[in-house]
Amino acid sequence: MLTTEQKYIKVNQAIEAGEFYTKTSKKEMTEHTQRLYYDLVSQSNPYNNSLPLSKEEIRELKFELTHDLRFVKEKHYKILAQLKMPVEKVAELKSLDDKIRSMPVVKKEKQKVEIKFTERQATHLGTCQVCGCMHKVSKEDGTIAKHGYTVAWNSFNGECQGSHHLPFEQDKKVKKTYILELDDHLEGLEVPETTGNLRKDEIAVWNYESTKRHLARLIEWHCKLMNEWKVKPLKPIEKWA
């Protein structure tokens, strides 16, 4: 929790900056001003101000004050003065609040950070023909860096078989072979034989069906990409801040 003083400092700093980068930061400042207004009004007790007014009159006047700093108007200042409440402070706060509310929210443009690549470091990313993920492309031979199993079917030794091959942006041979392999898998799937154990059989059929569906979807996805294929540029590795 910020102290009253800290809130004032924050609000003034924000005004000095002249603009907000996010709606949230603007909202945060108007919450501070509203809170400061609330504290000002609630902490000042007009009943102790030895006024030429009855308790009922004070109560009624206080009742007419707005709870929302945005709606503070001339008539409220008059009431504050009449009740010997901190009218200048409220006026000052109101002017801070008006300034905050009139300030623009300007989205900060992201700046590209220059990366100093070493001679051997990859400067581009490419799409793996097998798993479809983006990976670094070797500067030496233009192939996709070694990477692990992701969505690929039947990858061995935890290494995706698209590793060490050209990215899909530049070649589709590996994808073609891979689709044929998937087709073979699908063709070769055998309906499980019944064992007589109902529970076991049920699981076997379920596995068979879901594998079949998965393979069919995978083949469909790869074929679609294959049909739409054309040479594309690789994605440069960039850093933004």
* Chain residues that interact with Zn ion, rule: CB under 5 A: 128, 130-131, 160, 162
Residue with tokens 């097998």, as numbered in its chain: 130
Neighbours of 173 (CB within 10 A): 10
In the bound complex, what is the minimum distance in angstroms from residue 16's beta carbon to Zn ion? 52
Q: Which is nearer to Zn ion, 23 or 224 (CB)?
A: 224
In the bound complex, what is the minimum distance in angstroms from residue 222's beta carbon to Zn ion? 12
Q: Pick from 190, 168, 179: which is nearest to 216 by CA?
A: 179
Q: What is the C-alpha separation between 1 and 63, in angstroms, rounded?
A: 29
Q: Which is nearer to Zn ion, 7 or 147 (CB)?
A: 147
In the bound complex, what is the minimum distance in angstroms from residue 231's beta carbon to Zn ion? 19
Q: Which is nearer to Zn ion, 40 or 131 (CB)?
A: 131
Locate 50 and state its tokens. 């030895």
Q: Which is nearer to Zn ion, 53 or 225 (CB)?
A: 225
Q: Are 202 and 138 in contact (CB under 8 A)?
A: no
Q: Which is nearer to Zn ion, 87 or 131 (CB)?
A: 131
In the bound complex, what is the minimum distance in angstroms from residue 120's beta carbon to Zn ion? 22
The length of the chain in residues reads: 241
Locate 164 and state its tokens. 């060490």
In the bound complex, what is the minimum distance in angstroms from residue 178's beta carbon to Zn ion? 10
Q: Which is nearer to Zn ion, 61 or 130 (CB)?
A: 130
Q: What is the C-alpha separation between 207 and 61, in angstroms, rounded?
A: 77
In the bound complex, what is the minimum distance in angstroms from residue 220's beta carbon to Zn ion? 18
Q: Are 27 and 51 in contact (CB under 8 A)?
A: no
Spell 30-39 as b/e; 16+ CB within 10 A means b: bebbbebbee
Q: Which is nearer to Zn ion, 93 or 131 (CB)?
A: 131
Q: Pick from 104, 103, 98, 97: which is nearest to 7 by CA?
A: 97
Q: How far from 121 is each of 7, 147, 169, 183, 212, CA to CA, in Å?
A: 48, 16, 20, 37, 41
In the bound complex, what is the minimum distance in angstroms from residue 215's beta carbon to Zn ion? 17
